Amino acid sequence: MKLSYEWLSEYLDLNIEPKDLAEKIERTAVEVDSVKRLDYKLKKIVVGHTLEVEMHPDSDHLHIVQVDVGEEEPIQIVCGAPNIAADQDVIVAMHGSRIKDNVKIKRSKMRGVPSNGMICALQEIGFDDAVVPKDYVDGIYVFPADSGVEPGDSVMEALGMDDDVIDTDITPNRGDMFSMNGNATEIGAILNEDVTFESIVPSDSDQSDQDSNEQISVKVSDPVFAPVYKMKVINNLTVEDSPFWLQKRLMKAGIRPINNLVDVTNYIMLKYGQPLHAFDYDQLPEKTITVDKAGENVKFTTLDGEERDLRADDLLIKSGDVPVALAGVMGGMDSEISDGTKTVALEAAIFDPILVRKTARYHVLHSEAATRFERGIDFSSIDNALDEAATMMAQLGNGQISQNTVVGNEVIPEEKQIKISLVRINKVLGTELSADEVGDIFDRLGFEYDLDEVNGNFNVVAPLRRWDISIEADLLEEIARIYGYDNLPSTLPVGPTTIGSLTDTQKIIRDSRTTLEGLGLNQAMSYGLTTIDKARHFIMADGETVKVDWPMTKDHEALRMSLISGLLDDIAYNEARSVDNIALYEQGRVFKKAGDNVQPTEIEHIAGAITGSLIDSSWINKDEKVDFYQMKGVVDQYLQNLNLNGAVQYRATDQYPEMHPGRTANIFIDDQYIGFVGQVHPETQKAYKISETYVFELNLSTLIAQPKVRQHYEMISKFPSISRDMALLVDEDVTNQNILDVINSSKQKFLVNINLFDVYNGSHLPSGKKSLGYQLTYQDSKATLQEEVVNQEFESLVEQLKTELGVTIR
Amino acid sequence: MSLEDQLRDLEQKSLKDIKETVDLSKLNEVRVNLLGKKGPITEVLRGMRELSKEERPKVGSFANEVRDNLTETIEKRRSELEQAHLERKLKRESIDVTLPGKPVAQGNPHVIQQIIDNIEDLFLGMGYQVVEGPEVETDRYNFEMMNLPKDHPARDMQDTFYITDEILMRSQTSPVQARTMEKHDFSKGPLKMISPGVVYRRDTDDATHSHQFHQIEGLVIDKHITMGDLKGTLETLAQELFGDRFEVRLRPSYFPFTEPSVEADVTCFNCMGEGCKVCKYTGWIEVLGAGMVHPNVLKMAGVDPEVYGGFAFGLGPDRFAMLRYGVDDIRNFYLNDVRFLSQFNKRG
Ligand SMILES: [Zn+2]
C-alpha cells in the first residue's frame, strides 16, 4: 500500500525521516518496496495562468499561448494540447527546467514561433497514466478553482508531490496494514507514540427526514456469504469533481479521481480499509437487495464494460433478480454512479474472503476492494467507515443522509482471549524479558491484558482489527518483532548429541558424481518436465508417462522417463553455439505412472553423453573422437568403482529405437539388467540436431541395491608370474565375450589375468576371419609356479577354444 | 736400459696417451693394451727373473706403483669422459618447458550442486541428517500438513503444477519435513534435518523465474529450541557460505508453516553494506525465509506442541548462486552450456 507521509502525519507526531521510518516498518512489520517522492529531480516547474490563446499560423493544431508565470511579463509558449484555453491554471515547465525522466526543457522555436517552455500533462511530470483524472488523460492538466494556486507557485508543492510515499508489500496475514488507520496504529506501536484519529461528523443540514429502511431492504441469503451487510441512502446529491485535496490524496495513493461520490468510497477505503460500493439508487430495478450466489448460466456486465459468464459460486448483489455487483469485487455497469446520479445506496459489507478470492482469481479482477476482502476486514470499524462516507457524500454532494442504517446481516466475532506465560515467552524466544517489558509491548500494540503477577501469566485480548492474532505463537511474534529481532541473542541449539552423516545411498550417489567428473564429464542439471515425445525416448522400462494437468508450455508437459533425452537437448544447445566437444552426465530422477491418484514411481538414474572429443586436441595430441569403446570405458570404470559383487556383462541389443542397432549394449550385473551404453541412432541424432553422440544410462537405484564386495586386503604374491600370449584366428561373428566365456568356464587354476592386447581384421587374413590377441597371466600365491604346470593349463585351454569355437592359433 | 728406466719411459708415454684419449672405447683399448696379460708392464716384469734377489722387490714395487698410477689415471679419465658424454646427452634432450601440458579429462560438479554439497557438509558437521523425498507429492504433504488448507490465500503465492486433484509437483521441499517428523522417534533424541531438492512452480521461464529450481530446507525439533538458536544457526550458515564479515538481519514475514516467521537478509556481498544496485541501495540482500515451527504443523505430524518446538528455514541455491557469482539469468543453470558449467571449477 502506498503510504503518504503527509497523511500519516495527521495521526502521528512524526519526528523521523521518511527513509528511517520505512526502515523501521521493514524491520518490524512488513516489507517496504520503495520510498519515493514524486518530485524526484523535477526542477523549475511552476503554475502558469493562460492569458491569450491563438492558433499557430502554420499549424492546424498548435496554439500560441501567453502565460502569466508570476514574472513581470507573461511568457509565450507554443502548445499542442487540444484542451488548451485562455484563463486556465496550468503546469508550466520553464526554460531550463527538468521534467519526468530528467528531460531538460529549453527555449526553442516551433514552426518559426518562439516558445519559452512547455505546458505539461500530469504524465509529463511523473504521474502514472492510471491516476490522472479522465478529463486530463489526453491533454494538459488544468488546476481546479479550489486549488487556490497563483501564477509562479511551485507545481510540486501545489500537487503535493513534495510528499514522501512509502510503498509497502503486505504479507497475507497483515490485512490491517491495508488502511491508513491500521498503518498509523502499527507505526504508533513501532515508534511508541500515541495516535489520534479524527472523523468528519454530520451536521443537521446533512440529515434527511427519510428512513433508509423505507427506501431499500436488504437480505443475505446465507450469513456465511456476508457476515456484515449494511446500507445507507443519501439523497438529493450533485455529482461533481472532488475537492482538490481529496483528488491529490487519491492520486498519491495510486487511485484515479472520478467524481465526488466515487472518490469518497475510495478515500474511506484507504482510511479504514473498508471497501464501499455506491449504487445509483434510481438505476436499481427493484429496491430489494439480496446477497446470493449467481447460480447457473448468469451473465453480468461489470463497470469496466466487460460482459462476464459467471461461475455458479460467484457471489452477487442482486436488485430483485437482476445482478448489480460482483460482491466485493466490482460493481455493475447499469447501476454505476453517473453524472446524473441523485440518490446513492451506499453499501458497507464484509464478504467471505474465500468466495471473493475465488471470484477475483477466476475473472482476473484483483481490485483494491477484492484484495482487502481477501486479506480480512476490521469488523470494529465498519460502522465508522459507513457513517463517515455517508457524511462526506452529503457534504461534498450537497445532499442529505436518510435516517438509520439498513442491516442485512451483522455477525461480529468475539475478541479472542489468549493466555501466555512469561516463562513460555522467554523459553521460545531465548530472551530474559521481564513482565513489565512484555506488558509495555502489549500496551504499545494496543492489546488489553491481565497479568497474574505471581506466576507471570498474561491473558491478552486481541483486538478485532488484528484478526491474524489467535494463538500463543501469534503473540510471540508480536513480542519478538516489537522487542526487535536485532535484540534477540545468537545461540546454537543445545541438547542431546545427534550424529550427522550421509546414508549409504547418499554416499554412493556422491561418489558416483565424483567418479564421473574424474573421468571428464561435467555435471548437468536438466528440466524434469519435457515434451510428451521426449519423455518417452530412451526408456529402459516400459510404463505410462506422467503428465501435468495444465502445462505452461508444450515443452514442459510430461515428466521425463530417461535422462539421456535432456542431455541431448543440452548437447544441441551447445552445438548450436559452436561448442563441439561436450561431455555431460546427469544424476536425477525419472518417473512413471503407478496408478490413478497415486504418486508416480520415482527412480534414481545416472546417465552420460559425449560428443566430439573427451580430451581437447592440442599440439601434442591429435583430435581423438569419442567412440563406443571410450564411452564403454567410462561406464566400466564407474561400475568398477562401485565395487559390485556380481559380474558386469555387455550384451548387444537393438531394442532401443533411438539407439544405433549395431552399436548398443545392454548392461547386466550377473543377470540383473541395469542399463545400456551405445551410439545414438543417426535418425535420432538428426531429430535432436546433434552430431555423433555416445550415451549411457543406468538405473542407479538398482545399482545401489546390488550387493557390494566387502573389501579386504589381498596379499600381493611374492612369487613370480608367468605369461603366455595367444593369437586366435576366429570367425568374424565370434565375440570377445564368447572367448572369455570359454576361458572362464575352463578349469584354469592359476590364471589371474586376461588382457586383450590386439584385435586385427586386416587384409591378409582369410575373409570372414579376424584375429584376437590375448595375454594370459598365471601366478600361484603360495609357491613359484612351474613352467610345466602353466604349459598344461594353457594347452588345455587352447584345445577347448579349438573345439568350442573352432579357433586357429596363428 | 735398466728395467726401472724402461718402466719410467713406459709410464711417461702412457700417461700422455691416456690424456689424449677422447673416446671411451679408445680408452678401453689403451687399458687392455697397457695393463693386459700381454701388455708392456707384464713384459717388463717378466725380465725380473734376471735380476738379483736384492733388486727384485725394489723393481717389483716400483712396477706396481707404475701400474697403480696408470690404472688410476685411466679411471679418472674414464669418469671425465663419461661426465662429458652425459652432459652432451642431457643437452641434446633439452625441451621447451613453456609448451603447454598434455590435456587430461576433468569434469566439474554443477555450480548448484557445489552450493548444495557445501550446505550439506556444514549441517552434517552440526549433527543434522540429509533427507530426500519424492518430487511428485500429494496435496496433503505439500500443502495441508504445512498448514496450508485448500482455500488458504498463500496457496496463490506458489502456483503449482497439478497432475491430479491430489497429486502435484512439489512446490517446496517442506513435505519432506512433514514426512520425517511423522516418522521420527523423539524418545531417541531431537530431529535435526535438512532437505535439499528440486521443486516446481507454474512460472513462465525468464531471467529471474524458472519453473524448476532448487530448495534446501532445514528443521530442528526438540524440547528447548529458541528463536535465538534460529538466529545463531542462520548466522553460522551465512558465514560458512559467504565469509566471516557477513551479518544477518531478521525481518518479520509470513509463512503459513512458521510463527513467528522471518526473512533473513545478509550483508550485500557486492558492496559490503554500503548500498549498491544489486541490493537496491539497502546494503542487504534477502537470502532466506525462516521461523519457529507453527504448532499446527507439529500437531498434524503427531508432535505435541506443548512439549516440542523448533525452527525451520529455507533457501534457494539457484538464487544463492546468482547472487554469489553474479549470474544474471536463472535459465543458465538448466541449459548446461559447457562454457558456463566449466567456469565453476575453482574451489573456494
Ligand atoms: Zn549492495
Tell me: pLDDT of A559 over 60.
yes
Q: Which residues pair with A105 in a beta bridge?
A: A97
A164 assigned to a ligand binding site: no
Q: Which residue of B has its CA nearest to A596?
A: B164
Radius of gyration of chain A (CA): 41
Residue B104: burial class (beta carbons within 10 Å; 0-12, 13-18, 19+) = exposed
**What is the distance, to the nearest Å, from the Cα of residue A566 to the centroid of all Cα atoms in its chain?**
25
pLDDT at A44: 94
Distance CA A424, CA B180 (A): 26
Q: Residue A105: what are its φ and ψ, rounded to 5°?
A: -105, 130
Encode pLDDT of A505-552 as tens digits: 999 999 999 999 999 999 999 999 999 999 999 999 889 999 998 888
**Residue A684: pLDDT band with limits 50, 70, 90:** very high
Taking only the tens place, the pLDDT of each residue in A77-109 is 999 999 999 999 999 999 999 999 999 999 999
**Looking at chain A, which residue has its C-alpha nearest residue B130?**
A502
Give residue B120's pLDDT.
96
Asked if B338 has any chain A CB less than 8 Å from its own CB, the reply is: yes
The b-or-e profile of A238-251 (16+ CB within 10 A means b, else e) is ebebbbbebbbbbb
3-state secondary structure of A723: strand
**Cis bond leading into A493, ω under 30°?**
no
| Minimal CA separation from B304 to chain A, in Å | 14
Question: Which residues place a Cβ less than 5 A from the ion ligand 1?
Answer: B 268, 270-271, 276, 278-279
Taking the C-alpha atoms of residue B210 and residue B215, their distance in angstroms, rounded to an integer, is 13
Cα B289 to ligand 1 centre (Å): 20
Gap between the Cα atoms of A328 and A228, Å rounded? 12
For range A293-309, the mean pLDDT:
93
User: Per DSSP, what are the bridge partners of residue B253?
Assistant: none
Contact A128, A254 (CB under 8 A): yes
Burial class (CB in 10 A: 0-12, 13-18, 19+), A809: exposed
Ligand 1 centroid to Cα of residue B267, in Å, is: 8
Strands (E), B205-283: 212-222, 248-252, 258-267
CA distance A413 to B45: 137
Which band of pLDDT confidence, cut at 50, 70 and 90, is reported for residue A486? very high
| Mutant choice from A510, A522, A563 vs B, greatest count of B C-beta within 10 A | A522
What span, in angstroms and rounded, lies between the C-alpha atoms of A409 and A227? 6
Q: Choose the mutation target among A33, A475, A491, A592 for the interface with B, i.e. most B CBs under 10 Å.
A: A491
In angstroms, the Cα distances linking A462 to A414, A415, A445, B262, B310 are: 10, 6, 10, 21, 25
Percent over 70 (pLDDT), chain A: 100
Which positions in chain B touch A503 (Cβ < 8 Å)?
130
pLDDT band at A764 (very low <50, low <70, confident <90, very high): confident
Q: Pairing state of beta strands A104-105 and A448-452?
A: unpaired
Residue indicated by cell numbers 502521528: A12
**Closest Cα partner for A756 from A738, A769, A779?**
A738
* Least confident piece of the model among A281-295, A362-376, B46-60, B128-142: B46-60
**Residue B125: how many CB atoms within 10 A of its CB?**
10
CB atoms within 10 A of CB A203: 10
On the 0-12 / 13-18 / 19+ scale of CB atoms within 10 A, A264 is: buried
Contacting B residues, span 186-215, partner chain A, CB-CB under 8 Å: 189-190, 192, 198, 200, 202-204, 211-212
Sorting pLDDT into bands at 50, 70 and 90, what band is A810? confident
The yes-or-no verdict on residue A713 having pLDDT over 50 is yes
Q: From CA A142, how far away is CA B73, in angstroms rounded?
A: 119
Dihedral sign from CA coordinates of B2, B8, B13, B17:
positive
Phi, psi of A80 (to 5 degrees): -105, 5
The whole-number pLDDT of residue B157 equals 55
Domains, chain A, ordered by start? 2-38+164-191 (3.30.56.10), 43-158 (2.40.50.140), 204-410 (3.50.40.10), 416-482 (3.30.56.10), 504-705 (3.30.930.10), 722-809 (3.30.70.380)
| A746 C-beta neighbours (distance < 10 Å), count | 16
Q: What is the pLDDT of residue A388?
A: 97
Burial of A682 (0-12, 13-18, 19+ CB in 10 A): exposed
The whole-angstrom separation of Cα B258 and Cα B255 is 6
The pLDDT of residue A199 is 87
* φ, ψ dihedrals at A531, nearest 5°: -75, 160
B163 shares contact with chain A (CB less than 8 Å): yes
Which residue type does A648 have? Answer: V
Other CB atoms within 10 A of residue A199 CB: 14
Ranges in chain B, pLDDT < 50: 348
Q: Give me the interface pTM, i.e. the ipTM.
A: 0.88
Q: Which residue has the cell 492558433?
A: A55
Among residues A322, A333, A438, A327, which one has the least CA distance to residue A374? A327
Q: How far apart are CA A605 and CA A600, in angstroms?
A: 15
What is the rounded CA–CA span in Å between residue A774 and residue A776? 6
Query: Which helix (H) or strand (E) segment is A410 a member of?
Result: strand A406-410
Instruction: State mean pLDDT over A783-793.
Output: 91
Which residues have CB under 8 Å from A60's CB, separation 6+? none
Angle B120-B121-B123 (CA atoms, 0-180°, nearest 5)? 65
Q: Is beta strand A672-680 parallel, antiparallel or unpaired with respect to A659-669? A: antiparallel
The helix or strand, by DSSP H or E, that contains position A755, with its residue range, turns out to be strand A751-760
Q: Which residues in chain B are contacts of A582 at CB distance < 8 A?
A: 338
> Whole-angstrom Cα distance, residue B307 to residue B304?
6
User: In the numeric block, which cell numbers belong to residue A607?
Assistant: 546417465
| Per-residue model confidence (pLDDT) at position B348 | 47
Cα distance from B30 to chain A (closest Cα, Å)?
43
Q: Are A563 and A605 in contact (CB under 8 A)?
A: yes
Minimum-distance CB partner of B190 among A495, A548, A583: A495
Q: Does the pLDDT value for residue A426 go beyond 70? A: yes
Q: What pLDDT is attached to residue A356?
A: 94
d(CA A453, CA A120): 66
**In chain A, what's the furthest Cα-to-Cα distance?**
131
Give per-residue pLDDT as tens, A727-751: 999 999 999 999 999 998 888 889 9
Give which of A414, A356, A329 is closest to A380, Cα–Cα: A414
CA distances from A362 to A313, A333, A549 (A): 11, 19, 17
SS3 A103: coil
Q: At A567, phi and psi to the nearest 5? A: -65, -35
* Neighbour count for residue A214 (Cβ, 10 Å): 13
For A303-346, write each residue's pLDDT tens digit.
999 999 999 999 999 999 999 999 999 999 999 999 999 999 99
pLDDT band for A781, please (50, 70, 90 cuts). Answer: confident
Distance, in Å, from the CA atom of A296 to the CA atom of A289, rounded to the nearest integer, reads: 20
The reply to whether B81 touches chain A by the CB within 8 Å rule is no
Predicted local confidence at residue B152, as pLDDT: 79
Q: Which pLDDT does position B144 carry in this prediction?
A: 94
Q: How far apart are CA A735 and CA A517, in angstroms?
A: 31
b/e per residue, B221-236, with b = 16+ CB within 10 A?
bbeebbbbbbbbbbbb
Q: How many whole angstroms separate alpha carbon A715 and alpha carbon A720?
A: 14
Whether residue A90 contacts residue A143, with contact meaning beta carbons closer than 8 Å, is answered with yes
Are the beta carbons of B161 and A516 separated by less than 8 Å? no
In DSSP terms, A114 is beta-bridged to A109
DSSP B274-331: S--TTTTTSSEEEEEEEEEEPHHHHHHTT--TTT-EEEEEEE-HHHHHHHHHT---TT
Distance of CA B159 to CAs A170, A202, A267, A556, B154, Å? 19, 47, 33, 15, 10
Interface mutation target, options B136, B193, B286, B329, chain A, most CBs of A under 10 Å: B136
Q: How many CB atoms lie within 10 A of CB A733?
A: 8
